[in-house]
């Protein structure tokens, strides 16, 4: 849920680049980067939960993500290779278990306020490297009546920790991008083709392509089974110490901004 409740732990940022005139041997993006929560802006995005009756719900995020689930505690397919199991603990509380490739990414508890106008969520889990996390989210209802059904807007995000981002120059003149804690790796071949995203929690069919706009700028398009999920602009600061990623999810008005500091 660091981008939304629907995307926690199962959709990972990916990138690859298009060939351009040669840059220095050590790419300006190369290095170890740490997420800066204070400078980032992960609020404002909206998503919709629609009640279909008989404890069945449709979850929609933008124009790229939509799926139906029955809240009966069983694992059900949400996205290719991913499942969610919803258990109704009481009218104002849900427990959700997110999995990808059979692995549990997070266990979440969603709690409605007494007036059903706000929603708090706590997500706990263990990353592939064994490190644990506990993330907290607050959402406000912007349309809809009582219960979980309605359109929700992210109002606050508190992440206990984020995997470091590692970018290395490769021997072939490209880049290797990895998130060590999540064991996610993308090899950038600079040939303009969709690059596979590899890792134990990566959704089946996840790829990315990108244009390199200059030594300090890359535009990335993330896809799932050839369907565009988001377009992200990577931009280095003038001194090369700050990397800003502005992600535009398909069909979502508000972009999310993630800021990383060079280590």
Residues sharing a CB contact under 8 Å with residue 184, sequence separation 6 or more, in sequence order? 12, 163, 178, 197, 198, 199, 201, 202
What does the pLDDT read at residue 72?
Answer: 98
**Structure-token pair, residue 46:** 């909206």
CB 1 within 8 A of CB 135: yes
What does the pLDDT read at residue 173?
Answer: 66
Alpha-carbon span 242 to 211, nearest angstrom: 20
**Structure-token pair, residue 165:** 């981002």
User: Could you tell me which of 4, 227, 211, 231 has the C-alpha nearest to residue 123?
Assistant: 4
DSSP codes, 18-43? B--S---SS-TT-EEEEE-TTT-B--
Taking residues 35-63, what's their average pLDDT? Answer: 96
What does the pLDDT read at residue 1?
Answer: 38
**Structure-token pair, residue 118:** 């706000």
Alpha-carbon span 40 to 56, nearest angstrom: 35
Alpha-carbon span 179 to 98, nearest angstrom: 20
- Domains in the chain (CATH in brackets) are 31-42+163-262 (2.40.128), 46-158 (no CATH)
Sheet holding 132-143, edge to edge: 65-70, 56-61, 46-53, 150-158, 132-143, 118-126, 103-112, 93-100, 82-90, 76-79
Query: Would the CA dihedral through 53, 57, 62, 65 be positive or negative?
Result: negative
What does the pLDDT read at residue 213?
Answer: 87
Taking residues 142-159, what's their average pLDDT? Answer: 95
pLDDT exceeds 50 at position 14: no
Taking residues 207-214, what's their average pLDDT? Answer: 85
**Structure-token pair, residue 108:** 């979440």
Alpha-carbon span 59 to 40, nearest angstrom: 26
User: Could you tell me which of 211, 210, 247, 202 has the C-alpha nearest to residue 229?
Assistant: 247
Provide the pLDDT confidence category of residue 165 given band limits of 50, 70 and 90.
very high
Alpha-carbon span 204 to 195, nearest angstrom: 13
């Amino acid at each position: 849920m660091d981008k939304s409740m629907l995307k926690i732990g199962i959709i990972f940022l990916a990138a690859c680049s298009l060939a351009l005139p040669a840059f220095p041997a050590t790419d300006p993006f190369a290095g170890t980067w740490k997420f800066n929560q204070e400078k980032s802006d992960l609020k404002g995005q909206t998503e919709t939960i629609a009640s279909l009756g008989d404890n069945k719900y449709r979850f929609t995020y933008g124009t790229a993500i939509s799926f139906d689930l029955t809240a009966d505690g069983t694992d059900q397919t949400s996205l290719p290779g991913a499942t969610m199991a919803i258990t109704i603990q009481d009218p104002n509380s849900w427990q959700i278990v997110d999995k990808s490739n059979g692995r549990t990414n997070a266990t979440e508890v969603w709690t409605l306020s007494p007036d059903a106008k706000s929603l708090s969520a706590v997500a706990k889990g263990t990353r592939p490297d064994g490190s644990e996390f506990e993330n907290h989210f607050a959402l406000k209802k912007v349309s809809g009546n009582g219960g979980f059904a309605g359109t929700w807007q992210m109002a606050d995000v508190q992440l206990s920790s984020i995997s470091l981002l590692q970018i290395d120059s490769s021997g072939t003149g490209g880049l290797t991008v990895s998130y060590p804690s999540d064991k996610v790796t993308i090899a950038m071949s600079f040939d303009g083709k969709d690059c596979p995203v590899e890792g134990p929690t990566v959704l089946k069919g996840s790829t990315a392509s990108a244009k390199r706009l200059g030594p300090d700028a890359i535009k990335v398009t993330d896809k799932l089974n050839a369907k565009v999920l988001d377009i992200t602009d990577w931009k280095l600061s003038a001194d090369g110490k700050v990397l800003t990623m502005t992600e535009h999810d398909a069909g979502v008005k508000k972009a999310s901004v993630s800021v990383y500091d060079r280590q």
